[in-house]
Amino acid sequence: MEEILTLLFERLPHWFEQILSATVLYQLIVLLLAALGALMVNRLASRLLHLDDGAPGSGLRHVTRRTVQKVVFPLSMLLWVLLGKAALLMLSLPVMLISIAVPLLLSLVLIRILVYLLRKGFPPTPMLMAWENIVSTGIWLVVALHLLGWLPVVTETLDAVAFDMGRTRISLLSTIKLVVLVAMLLTLAFWISGLLERRMKLSAYMAPSMQVAFAKFSKFFLITLALLLAIDAVGIDLTALAVFGGALGVGIGFGLQRIASNFISGFILVLDRSIKPGDVITVSGQFGRVEELRARYVVVKSRDGVETLIPNENLITSEVINWSYTDPYVRVSIPVQISYEDDPEQAMALMLECIQNSPRVLAYPESTVQLRGFGESGIDLELRIWIRDPEAGVGNIRSQINLAIWHAFKQAGITIPYPQRDLHIKAVPPPPAEVAPTTPKEP
């Protein structure tokens, strides 16, 4: 430890002398000016976008001030450093320190952009945080190997570990490149598809089903394109995918029928527009509102707040009641029974009066009351009303009107009967008297 400290103190004057030399001082001034210029560009960008901390901007709604600071600052500083490097080269001054700063700034910009794409393309989860650390560590590792001059040796070593599969040579280096390219292109594909989906949702000229169809098709197309571009960039022959396609077809034939069926059923639901986001449906006895149409399932949210994931295949093969298929108007029937001793016309008028204070009952189509028949215990009446918001619930409007009818009938003296039965007991003849057995007399 003492030897290290002694060596450190011996080298300090030499280091200060190098730092204060003119060649290094020029480079430090360039870096300082680049930092100041980047800070000015960052503030100007924040003002132009009218961004507040954590608040959406008017120009880019999904960009925040923090994101702008993380991406714009290192990018603008990199540009200023490159301009300063060009100026020093024109003056025939050394740029060794700037040559070290350029890859560091470039790696920082790349890390910030990739992390931003990850956060915009995927939901925030602990796995996402782990991937952010992996991306940052990998980029810094490559930069460190480049600055130390070990990167060519490492790449040659990784390329030497290889094997031949037919006409294709697969090495460890090509595998790493393939994984990195697939990850980058898939992240970019998810980010672009998410951006398109958000833009489609803001469009007032597209139906919800067409928005979902466009979003699904764009995501599928971009993911396929990303995989093909990554495989072609690494140098793998695309004709080799014919074997993989045959294996995939056999897998679908044996064990992936349900997954393929749900995936194709999702496109059928979107294209035929039978079920759209916002529709109120009843399937398998479950009543709820369609929240999302996914590739494998449909999210249906009930009135209890429970979200049910229904496979797309079930919506194709089973009977589905769509309460808002062509229009949101729904008729609700409320049966009521009164006693035979009451006036049915008075009861029918009171039932129509009970719906006047309900804001959900429509004036057109008109509500009606019908005498359905004569039951065993009373006269059967039925009130029929129309609503246009079934997603707000049907049972609650029935309860509200039933309670109003109860109070109105009670004030008018109209009774709601309960089941009655008359029991007639017939006289039953007494059972015959039993005759005691006689014993024979002895002779």
Helices (H) and strands (E) in the chain, counts: 13, 10
Which one, of 394, 366, 396, 367, lies nearest residue 382 by Cα?
Answer: 367
Res 248: pLDDT: 61
Q: Which residues contact 48 (CB under 8 A, 6 or more apart)?
A: 59
Res 218: pLDDT: 79
104 pLDDT exceeds 80? Answer: no
Q: Give strand pairing partners of 282.
A: 287, 321
E strands present in 197-293: 280-283, 286-293
Cα gap 47→356, rounded to integer Å: 54
**pLDDT per position as a tens digit, 317-359:** 888 888 878 788 888 899 999 998 899 999 999 999 999 888 8
Mean pLDDT over each residue of the chain, to the nearest integer: 76
Which one, of 199, 201, 195, 202, lies nearest residue 219 by Cα?
Answer: 195
4 Cα distance to chain centroid: 57
Q: What phi and psi, each to the nearest 5 degrees, are found at residue 152? A: -60, -40
Res 59: pLDDT: 40
Contact call for residues 255 and 262 (beta carbons, < 8 A)? no
As a whole number of angstroms, the longest Cα–Cα distance in the chain is: 162
E strands present in 339-374: 368-374
In order of their start, the domains of the chain are: 16-149 (no CATH), 256-322 (2.30.30.60), 330-412 (3.30.70.100)
Q: Any long-range contacts for 80-83 (C-beta under 8 Å, 24+ apart)?
A: 80/33, 80/34, 80/37, 80/38, 81/30, 81/31, 81/34, 81/105
Res 275: pLDDT: 84
Cα gap 167→138, rounded to integer Å: 31
Res 13: pLDDT: 54
Contact call for residues 205 and 199 (beta carbons, < 8 A)? no
Res 5: pLDDT: 54
Q: In residues, how long is the chain?
A: 443
Task: Verify cis geometry, omega within 30 degrees of 0, for the bond prior to 429.
Answer: no
Res 53: pLDDT: 45
DSSP 121-136: HS---HHHHHHHHHHH
**pLDDT per position as a tens digit, 21-49:** 556 777 778 778 888 887 888 777 767 66
Question: Residue 373: which region, alpha, beta or left (left: phi > 0; alpha: psi -120 to 50)?
Answer: left
**pLDDT per position as a tens digit, 63-100:** 445 555 567 777 788 888 888 888 877 877 777 777 77
**Tokens linked to 400:** 């509200």
Q: Which residues contact 296 (CB under 8 A, 6 or more apart)?
A: 259, 262, 263, 266, 311, 312
Q: What percent of the chain has pLDDT over 70?
A: 73
Q: What are the angstrom distances between the C-alpha of 244 and each of 26, 223, 251?
A: 58, 17, 10
Contact call for residues 99 and 75 (beta carbons, < 8 A)? no
Res 57: pLDDT: 42
Res 60: pLDDT: 41
Q: What percent of the chain has pLDDT over 90?
A: 10
Contact call for residues 300 and 288 (beta carbons, < 8 A)? yes
Q: Tell me the whole-structure pTM to 2 decimals.
A: 0.49
Cα gap 349→217, rounded to integer Å: 56
Mean pLDDT of 214-234: 77
Tokens 């490559």, located at residue: 142
Contact call for residues 416 and 409 (beta carbons, < 8 A)? yes
Indicate the pairing of strand 168-171 with strand 162-165: antiparallel
Q: What phi and psi, each to the nearest 5 degrees, are found at residue 290? A: -75, 115
Res 403: pLDDT: 93
Contact call for residues 275 and 290 (beta carbons, < 8 A)? yes
